[in-house]
Structure 1
Amino acid sequence: MKYKNAKIILPDALVKELQRYVQGEYIYVPIEQKQQKRWGEVSGYRKNLEQRNQQIKQEYQSGISMNCLAEKYCLSFYAVRKIIYQK
């Protein structure tokens, strides 16, 4: 996270109002909930996991056992089972 000088990006009136509450300290301004991305969306990891899970489901439907899939994908048997049975 990069810090920005409030005097540069905010109007003077707003800076003075903020100074009534806090001076010379850091404050965090959160992202609006509707603009916030879900976990893994920025890095693309969420999409990779979805593709992997789809591949696991397809391989299971083609006859590969859960134990073999667990070993192939370095997952526990229970993790593979959860992936296969999730809706």
Structure 2
Amino acid sequence: MKYVSASDILPEQLLQEIQKYVQGRTIYIPSREDGRKKWGQLSGQRDYLRKRNLEIRQSFRKGIDVEQLSQSYCLAVETIRKIVYQKK
């Protein structure tokens, strides 16, 4: 995370008010809840895992057993079981 000087981005009046509470110390201002992205949305990892798990469930329904899926996707047998028996 890159730090930015508050004096560069905040109005003078707001800066003076903040200085009453936090003079010379570093503070973190979190993003608003409605502005946050869920895990994996920016990188595309969330979509990748959703598609992979869908493929695994479809293959399982077509008769490919858990051990074969485990080898094909390089995942533990227990992980494959969690995916195929997951309730939606």
Structure 2-normalised TM-score? 0.92
Query: Is 2:45 the counterpart of 1:37?
Result: no
Q: Quote the residue 2:14 is aligned against.
A: 14
**What are the ranges of 5 or more consecutive residues in structure 2 without an aligned counterpart?**
none
CA RMSD of aligned residues (A): 0.9
Q: 1:39 & 1:20 partners in 2: Cα distance?
A: 36
Check if 1:46 corresponds to 2:43: no
Distance in 2 (CA, whole Å) between partners of 1:85 and 1:77 is 12
| 1:14-56 deviation line (CA, Å, top 9, x unaligned) | 1111111112221111111111111111111011000100110
Unaligned 5+ residue runs, structure 1? Answer: none
- The residue number in structure 2 matching 1:57 is 57
Identical columns (%):
46
Stretches of 4+ aligned residues off by more than 2 angstroms: none
In 1, the alpha carbon distance for the partners of 2:34 and 2:67 equals 40
**Alpha-carbon distance in structure 1 between the residues aligned to 2:74 and 2:31:** 36
Distance between the aligned counterparts of 2:66 and 2:54, measured in 1? 14
Aligned-residue offset at 1:74 = 1.1
The answer to whether the aligner puts 1:25 opposite 2:60 as a matched pair is no
Number of residue-to-residue matches in the alignment: 87
